[in-house]
Structure formats: C-alpha cells, structure tokens
Structure 1
Amino acid sequence: MVAQVAEPQPSVSQQLDLRASEPDPKSESPLDSAKTLICALNFLSRNLPLPQHVYDAVSSIYQDSAADGGDGATAEVGSDVEGEVSDRAPSPLRVDNSSLPSYDELMLDFEDAVLNQRSSCLPGSRLSDLKETRFRSRIQHRLTELEELPTSRGEDLQSRCLLELYGLKLAELQSKVRSEVSAEYWLRLQCANPDKQLFDWGMMRLRRPLYGIGDAFAMEADDPLKKKREAERLSRFEEEERNRIETRKRKFFADLLNAARELQLQVQAAQKRRKQRNDGVQAWHGRLRQRATRAEKLRFQALKADDQEAYMKMVEESKNERLTMLLGKTNDLLVRLGAAVQREKDAAHDSIEPLEGSDTDLAELSGSRTDTPAQSLPEEDEEIDDEPDDKVKTGDLLEGQRK
C-alpha cells in the first residue's frame, strides 16, 4: 500500500493531461469529495489496498485544492477527514503560512494519516476486552452512584434504587450461574447417548473456514483427504458395531450355557437327595423287618422252652392284635374249663347228685379244644363269665392256665 501511495511524482505535462481528462473540480460538490475521502479511509482502516479510481480521486482532490490556492470547501473536508483518521494522535498538516501546501506535502500528510490509522488498529480480542472493561467500569460507576445516593429521596425511588443495586451486585454471580447451567445442559445433550456415537478428536478442534485464504482450490485439494478420513471413520464405526454385536451374542450364549449347567447340577442334586431319602426309608423298613423277625424267633424259642412268662411278655411287647386275640380266647376257654371242673369238685364234695348234663359238658369241653377260639360255649358257661371277650387284659392271659 505504501508503494502505491509513494508513487513517483508525475511531470507537469502529465498533470496537465490528467486535468484535461478529469471533470472540472468545481462541478464536484464538497459532499462528493467527502464521500470519496470516507471511502478511502474505510479501505485503509481494513488494511486493504486502495482501488485505482479511489486513489485517483483522492489525488485529484488534493491537486485541485493546491492549484486553486485557497481555503475552499474541499480543503476543509480533507482536514476533517484527516482528523477522523487519526483519533488518538492526529498529525497536523504541514502548511506554510507564507504559501499554500504543495502536492508533496499533502501526500506526506496523507501517508502520516495512513500510518497513524494502521497503528491505531486493534485485534478483535483486544476490542472485546476493551468492551468488557468499559462495561465493568460503567457497572462499577453505577454501583458507586447508588451506594452514595442520599436517603432523603422518596420511598419509591429508594426502593427502585435498592433493587437496582442488588441486581448489579448479583450480575457477576448471575452470569456465572448461567454459564454453568448452559455448560451442564450442553454436556448432558452431547452425552445423552454415548454408546451411539464415537469420540472424534475432530470435535476438539476449532472450526476453520472451508476455503483457504487466497486459495480457491483448497476445498478441491482437501476433498480426497476428507473422503478418505470419512471412509476410515465409517469403517471403524462399522467394525466396532460388528464387534459389539459379536460380543453381545457370545455373552448371551455363555449365559445360556451357564444356565443349562446350573440346571443340570440342580437336577443331579435333587436326584441325589431323593436317592438318599429312598435308601433311608428302605433301610428303616429293613431294620423294622429284622426286629420283627428277631422278636418272632425269640417267641418261638420261648414257646419251645415252655417259658410261658417270657412268651407272654414278648407277645405283649410285640403288640400283635391277632396273637393277642388268640391268646385271650384261649385264656377265656381255660377259665371256663377251670370253673366247670371246680363245680364238679364242689358237687362231689358236698354229696350232691351230679348234674345230668355234666358228662355232656365235659364232652363238649373236650371237643371245643380242637375248635377255633371264636366258637361260642354253652349257655351255662356264659352265665358264669359275665364279662365280654374283648375286655380281657393281656396281663391275665395265664389266669386260666394257673386256675
């Protein structure tokens, strides 16, 4: 840009040709000149080179003002524009009191204004910091004003000022809470389904423009690489999905096999317990049969040895109903037989005539020994023993034999 501004000075003949080719400056209004200068300053403030027509217009404005030799409207507009260009340290025009400024002096002043404007340019981060600092200073100034507010004002104004003071004091805390809530919201939103998305380090990079600066083919040059990265990412995602499905299948079949093994072990344990219980029941019945067989053998031995007391005791301990009933009937029969014999003895001893049916009774008694105990005895024997057969005690089984 400086090379453009510091071009070699044209000769006098060239200046005359330019003046002849350009329109009459008197026909141009000061408003058009001001617009041209403002447009040039806009280009310079953006660090952009001046277009050729703008550069020619600015040069013609200064040349015309120098050729006219007066303090016209165009010179005033140029001085105002230069004041706008250098806000911080404006450089005054090098104007000689004895003569008007020349072309060289005007161009030097223009270059100084451009350099001052360049030095005053700030980056975006610095501008944002200045904006934040200015905002905080305004808040602090307002807080000071509210704290120093006298209490003699009205209650309505006092309450509003108090609310504003509390609001300004809580502004920093409010911004902090909002930032934390926003960060938490976006974190939950991004991490809602972590199993459905892959972690891509590309998310951690800053967003860049698609096209390079001054490179019109940057997108086309990066397109194959981007496609390759996308294909690799998709293939990796598909591979991980297949691995996840395979792992899930293996886990399912492993759980199925483990459940089958556990069921088989439970069935075997149940069969073992059932076998042990059946073996125990069979062993108990075997022992019971052995005890019954041993008791029966002991009774036979006692019966062979004619040990009636031991035999009766074993019969009572065995609790055999059929054997007890048989012995009870036999004992009842013996008791009746003994009673009949006793009556015969008493009758013979008292010299009483023997009964007519005594021989018949003896014959019946002798015949009843060979019959079963369930047969009934004569009616006269039933009158002697009034008790029923079922009420005979086991302790009196030998009573008839003793009699």
Structure 2
Amino acid sequence: MQQRKDSNRRPLSNNLMWFAGSVALAFFVWVIATLDSDPIQERNFLSIPIRVEHDQGVIITEQRTTTANVRVRAPQSTLDQLDPDDVQVVADLSQLGAGEHIVNLDATVSRRAQPDTTPRRISITLEAAQEKLVPVEVTITDALPRGFEIQGGSPILEASQVLVSGPQSQVERVAAVQVILNLSQRRNPFTDDLRLIPVDVDSETVDDVAVEPSTMEVTVPVQARSDIRQVSVTPNILAGTLPEGYALSSIEYDPQVILISGTPDALENAPGTLFTESIDLTDRTSSFSLNAAIEIPNDRLFVLGNQTVNVSIGISPLLASRQFDRVPVEAIGLNTTYQATMSPREVTVLMTGPQNLLDTLESGELRAVIDLNGLSEGNYQLSPDVLMNMDQSMLTNISVLPAEIDVVITSINTASS
C-alpha cells in the first residue's frame, strides 16, 4: 500500500519540477527578449541644482558646490521620457548643528532608474540663525539748499526699529539700519519709500543679513526758513549804450538766485528780484565778463554769501549785405609769352558781414583776380577770387556774378602774325 502511494507521488513531483523549469526558462527568454528590444543605457544630466534640507535655527553660510551632474542608468524607453526636472539631488543636513559638514548627495528619479551623482559628497557650513531689532538712522549725504530747513529738525520715519536676521556672526555686527537722503535739490515737503541699509558701528554695510521690512516710508517736511528769503537777481545792463552796428548775442550770469536776510518787516517787504550795479556797454565791441555788485534796496537787508554776480555778455556785430557793381577783373601769373582775353571784364560782388565794416568799404578797394599761372594756350572758364584791404574772415559770404569768366589765352607771336 505504501509503495503504491510513493509511486503516485513521483509523477506529480516530476511534473512540478518540469513546470518550474519551464517558467524559469520562459522568464529567462522574456528577459533576453526585453533587453534586446529595450537595452539598458546611460544618460547624463548636467548641473542639477542641489536642494539642501536642514533644521530650523541654522543658516547656510558657505556652500561652494550648488549643482551636481547625475548619471542615470535605465532602459532606453525610460531614458527617452526623462527630462532634467525629473531628476532631483538632495543634501540632507537634518539634525546637524552649526559647523562644517561633509554630506552625501542623494539623487532620485521620477521613474524606475539607477542614478549616480558627481560629486557624491559636498561640504556645507551651517551657522546658528539670529534675529534682533535695531534702530533706524537717517543719514543726509547732501544738505538742503541754503534758506531751507526741515520742520521739527528731522525727517519723520514710519518706524523707529526694524528686524534684522541672518547668520549669528553677521547679525551681531549690525548696529543700525540707515536711510540715505540727498536733499540738495529739495525745496518742498516730500515723502519717499527708501531702502534700509544694515550697517555696523563704523557705518560700513553688513552683508548676508535680511532686513524686515526692506524699505521704509520717510517724510521730510521741508520749509523755507523764516529768517532767510530767496530772491532772484538780474544784471542791470544798459543796452542803450551799446555802440551802433553791434548787438547783444548772449547774456549769462551766476548766481541767478541769492539768499537775503534781515529784520522780519524788511524781509516781508523785500522785492522778489534784486539788480546788480549798472553795466555800461560804451565802447564795448566784443564779448566780455565781469563781477557786478548786487545792489541792496534796504539797509536792513543783507546778502548771504557772495555779494557779486559773475556776468558774461556776448556782443557781435550786426550783419548786413552789400552789392558792389563793376568790379574790374584782373589776370595774374600769365606767362610773358602769352596774352589773355577775358569776358566779361567786370563783375558784381555780393558780400554779407558786419555792417560797420561793409559801410566803410569802397568798390575801388575790391579786385576780382584770376590766376593764370601755369596755363598755356586754350579756352578756359575760371572763377575769380575777390581781394580787399580787410580781414575776410569776418565776412560770412562773398559771391561773384557771374561766377565764371571766359578766358582765351593765345601766344603773342601767333597774335602778331
């Protein structure tokens, strides 16, 4: 009976072994087929950002390496579907305190794959975080123009303290935050949103700290001083004394605004414009500069600062145009073996320049000259030059009508035969 049971079990065992072998063989064949159709390959992902994880209460103060290269090994079909966003690199500093740490990089891929990083480890320095309240100070780099002041003596700040935070060593250096004001062009009240700058006791900027808030609204109530008044000043130029034939071409002066002070009633009744002493232009025929004294209409008033105004006056001659007819044409430079015939022998000259110079010029002082130097026999059309006994650089235009002269040069021997 026992022999019969053993004989029945033996075929069943044999069948199970054959079945297991068949399954293994089928799996092996499937793996081989899969590898042939979708082989394992490698792909490099460059400059993947390293995400650093650390506990609260510490701050990263030094991290020389911020990216890593990741080599991913996976089937080709998987690699084809990956992009850099699917790859992450993490440096885990959890439960690590302040100090320098060498940590492993852990790369993960959104799909089934084997990643490896280069480098595999990086150095990161942590420092204890700190925050504190510091006062806000106003630093004025350029003062208000003379005659103006800040009502109440100082600008109005939105808050007197702000919070700075960051690495302990840097936060401990911060003595205050500064608001920088340039008031050199301010003459009216204003409000502005200005950046807050953390500084140490020597007013040097402290880096790597955060200021909250980073900006602050500052109001500066600028007003005119009650004991000083700003007035315009104008040069008192006697234009009627300018010589005939000349005109004023420019007037420049500095300062154009001055500050005066005095008794309250004198300031209140002071004119809005003061004048300089009279500037006489008699015999002035060219531009010049001078310092003119400011005239004060009331002995209870006085000028703050310089008592004179620097005045630059431009003077130029009046321009006019004049026509000179029947100016004879002369030939110069002709070889003695030739003779020249010119047509026409008289021209009209038009000139534009200073009126006083043209009025003194006579037509007999003009010569229209044609230079025949180096020319041989032939027919020519030449432009004459105008010569005169005066400086032509002061003239703005000289025109000759007609502009060209017909010139025929012949040999004297040919002409006599």
Q: State the TM-score, normalized to the length of structure 2.
A: 0.17
Considering fraction of residues, name the structure with more helix: 1
- Larger CA Rg, structure 1 vs 2: 1
Considering fraction of residues, name the structure with more strand: 2
Q: State the TM-score, normalized to the length of structure 1.
A: 0.17
